[in-house]
A and B are shown apart, each in its own frame.
Chain A
Amino acid sequence: MSAQIPNFIIIDDSRLDCFIAEKIIQNSGTYSSVKSYMEATEAYEAIKNGLIGDDSIITIIILDIQMPVMNGFQFVEVFEKLPKEIQSKFAIFLFSSSINENDKNRLDNYPSIIRFYSKPISKDTVAQMIEQI
């Protein structure tokens, strides 16, 4: 699955953080498409209904933890209940400006989370994520 150019979606309630992530990804040149969602529920609906997600290329989800309405963990919980063939089109990376011990311990409970990264996202993070998928 490696060495392919992935799609990206960003789920973050901060408009600025979405914008930054888009720019950094675009500057990296290693992307097929990039799209932002400021509400996790909206992204979830789109994934569930097959509006996003590609059969041939994997889609990296850049997911913020602390968000109102549906936070990062809640998103992962509903995501992991989706059919396996939908889940396999995505790779989730969790992002936050800080993480407490409690949340760190929770990471292991969710097999679909590949890794946690501290904000802000950088060129190197993008490269690392692509290596891991």
Chain B
Amino acid sequence: MEKQEKIKILYVDDEINNLTGFKASFRMNYNIMIAVNATDAMQHLSSHPDIRVIFCDQRMPGKTGVQFFEEIRSRYPKPIRILLTGYTDIDSVIDSINLGNVFRYVKKPWADDDILGAINEANKFYVSNSLLAVKNEELQRAYNELDKFSYSVTHDMRGPLLSVLGAIEAAQHMDDITEIRKMLMMMKDSVRNLDDFIQSIHDYYNLNRGELEIKEIDFNELVEEQIKIFNFTYLMSDVTFNTNIIQKETFRGDVLSVKLILNNLLSNAFKYQRKDNKDKTVDLNILVENGHAVIDVIDNGVGIAENYLGDIFNMFFRASTQDVGSGFGLYNVKAAVTKLNGKITVDSEINKGTHFKVLVQNK
């Protein structure tokens, strides 16, 4: 508590003696503001929106404390309202509490402990209310995102399925076996795209909900594993893949995130090659030293137009019609890099190639 800013408390009373006494008693622990009438009080409220607790005397000339609270409630709903009053006013206090205008009351003349207790309770109430408001806002935002997300996801999942469905329909009227084989290959791509897409949703989920699992990472091992995966999917078949891995120190980080970054950047590098290029290459350089790992993935493929470079990390953005992408890959890469407190930059030129550079911190 010491390090935090003092809680702001407003005390409204027409008796100067009460005000000064109150301030003297509590100013060490709290930031006390005082007001002799409703007008002064309003001024404090408008210039200090973070006032957490308001004490108000019930008996004031012109306006009672209950009336004052009733008035400010809709305009300043956040501060917790506490009434100070003698026993004789008890009926109006009960009404007021029942109407929700007053959080609680402290009887006059007050004892320091009563006030401290009231502040404590009021503050707890204030804090949980604020947390609730923040949570509500987050929830609303999450709902909106989910809406957008589910539309795009349904579209992207239905797309390949309906293609396959259409293909089956078309096959009913096809007699040429070579034509049918050609279509089967395309159906295979379609199904594979769908599978990739579902895999990226899984990655997305892991990145956003999953905990970091910090482990020692051997980059040579990790790359070997990736090569096995890519050989299996034939993505590398006519591409020269060069690796240069220099690991000068033990590297600790979240394995899943690092894998995801490597996998997506490499698969993009393999996929987005120029079909007519005789000398397709992908270079992977990894250098681990001085507390971080620098990963470079360089290809001589189709490249990315300059006007799209700013958008490539956005969800569902696709800059090319070549090889159907999910629009999810680089979004996930960016999320993974951010999760690792890293940085990602891209350099690209149409028909020359693309260079992604990732820097992640050693934990």
Chain A residues engaging chain B, CB cutoff 8 angstroms:
13-17, 19-21, 23-24, 27, 38-39, 66-69, 96-98, 100, 119-122
Please tell me if the beta carbons of B183 and A16 are within 8 angstroms of each other in the complex: yes
Please tell me if the beta carbons of B190 and A120 are within 8 angstroms of each other in the complex: no
Task: Indicate the size class of the contact surface on chain B.
Answer: 20 to 34
Please tell me if the beta carbons of A14 and B163 are within 8 angstroms of each other in the complex: yes
Secondary structure at the B interface, as helix, strand, loop or mixed, is helix
- When distances are taken between beta carbons in the complex, the residues of chain B under 8 Å from A68 are 317-321, 325, 327
Nearest Cβ distance between residue A128 and chain B, in whole angstroms?
16
Please tell me if the beta carbons of A24 and B169 are within 8 angstroms of each other in the complex: yes
Please tell me if the beta carbons of B321 and A20 are within 8 angstroms of each other in the complex: no
Residue B151 interfacial (CB < 8 Å): yes
Partner of A66 from B155, B189, B190, B320 at Cβ < 8 Å: B155
| A39–B169 alpha-carbon span in the complex (Å) | 25
| A3–B183 alpha-carbon span in the complex (Å) | 32
| A3–B318 alpha-carbon span in the complex (Å) | 40
Nearest Cβ distance between residue A24 and chain B, in whole angstroms?
6
- When distances are taken between beta carbons in the complex, the residues of chain A under 8 Å from B182 are 19
- When distances are taken between beta carbons in the complex, the residues of chain B under 8 Å from A14 are 159, 163, 190, 324
Chain B residues engaging chain A, CB cutoff 8 angstroms:
151, 154-155, 158-159, 162-167, 169-170, 173-174, 179, 182-183, 186-187, 189-190, 317-321, 324-325, 327
Please tell me if the beta carbons of A13 and B324 are within 8 angstroms of each other in the complex: yes
- When distances are taken between beta carbons in the complex, the residues of chain A under 8 Å from B186 are 15-16, 19
Q: What are 18 A-to-B residue pairs whose CB atoms are below 8 Å? A: A16-B183, A16-B186, A17-B163, A17-B166, A19-B182, A19-B186, A21-B166, A23-B173, A23-B179, A23-B183, A24-B166, A69-B320, A100-B151, A119-B159, A119-B163, A120-B165, A122-B166, A122-B169
For A20, A38, A67, A119, the residue with the greatest tally of chain B CB atoms inside 10 Å of its CB is: A20
| A67–B162 alpha-carbon span in the complex (Å) | 16
Please tell me if the beta carbons of A120 and B154 are within 8 angstroms of each other in the complex: no
- When distances are taken between beta carbons in the complex, the residues of chain A under 8 Å from B173 are 23, 27
| A120–B164 alpha-carbon span in the complex (Å) | 9
Those 8 A-B pairs whose CB atoms lie nearest each other, nearest first: A120-B166, A68-B318, A16-B186, A20-B166, A23-B170, A97-B158, A13-B321, A27-B173
| A68–B323 alpha-carbon span in the complex (Å) | 11
| A97–B186 alpha-carbon span in the complex (Å) | 18
- When distances are taken between beta carbons in the complex, the residues of chain B under 8 Å from A122 are 166, 169
- When distances are taken between beta carbons in the complex, the residues of chain B under 8 Å from A96 are 155
- When distances are taken between beta carbons in the complex, the residues of chain B under 8 Å from A38 are 321
